[in-house]
Amino acid sequence: MSSFSPPRIPAHQLRPGRHWYVTAVAIAVAMIVLSVALAVYRFNSAVDAVNTDNQWANGETVTLRLEPEREKAIWVMYPGMSPGPRCDITGPGDPALTEGTDVSLTFDETWDLVYTTDVQQAGDYTVTCSSQAVSRYAIGDSGGMFTFVGWLILAVLLSVLGIGICAVIVVVTAVRRRGHRKRLLAERLGSGGGCPARPGAAGAFGE
């Protein structure tokens, strides 16, 4: 009894083409690279949220140029002794300071966001801060690490999405290529092209 081998189907004849596997990997790599770049960029922005080049100490008064549409934050570096730092603001209109809770790390220093500015008109404002411990103050943005965490979550989701898209393309391509191979085999077997006659078979049963 001789064994029958089905006709071989060259890989390049199957559809979809194998280039879809490369496309799937390229999409995953691109989205992972994009997510890493986004995370690094937002981390640098969070680290630079505090303008440490312009600091002031307890009891000193600084003048800030503030605008209603651009909220600024007052950051403090202090030992954590209670009560915490207190700041006052004076200027045109009725300016106010809103307490903040965000934290940002700048190199080896820890800066706490203590206040955000609330002004009704653009102008020059004076700010004075004090605490019972030796403290340093700086102006900066109010984003900080909480904003960074939000962008970090988005970056992770981009990576997961890229890997998911890659997996779906690979699975769909593999399933469709397998189905196409079965159809081609059925067509070739049906036409008799894949079932060669065995020499001597007719004589074995005819005599």
Nearest alpha carbon to residue 87 among 98, 71, 78: 98
pLDDT of 173 strictly over 80: yes
What is the predicted pLDDT for the residue at 187? 85
Rounded mean pLDDT, 193-203: 45
* Greatest Cα-to-Cα distance within the chain, rounded to the nearest angstrom: 119
CB 101 within 8 A of CB 143: no
User: Given pLDDT bands bounded at 50, 70 and 90, which one contains residue 90?
Assistant: very high
User: Given pLDDT bands bounded at 50, 70 and 90, which one contains residue 102?
Assistant: low
Full-prediction pTM beyond 0.85? no
Nearest alpha carbon to residue 72 among 174, 21, 15, 144: 144
What is the predicted pLDDT for the residue at 201? 39
pLDDT of 105 strictly over 50: yes
Please count the helices (runs of H) and the strands (runs of E) in the chain.
Answer: 3, 9
CA–CA separation, 122 and 68 (whole Å): 6
pLDDT of 135 strictly over 80: yes
pLDDT in tens, 18-52: 999 999 999 999 999 999 998 888 777 776 678 88
CA–CA separation, 132 and 59 (whole Å): 11
What is the predicted pLDDT for the residue at 104? 63
Summary mean pLDDT of the chain: 83
Nearest alpha carbon to residue 87 among 57, 120, 110: 57
Report the alpha-carbon angle 9-12-16, nearest 5: 105
Per the model's pLDDT, the better-predicted residue between 192 and 163 turns out to be 163
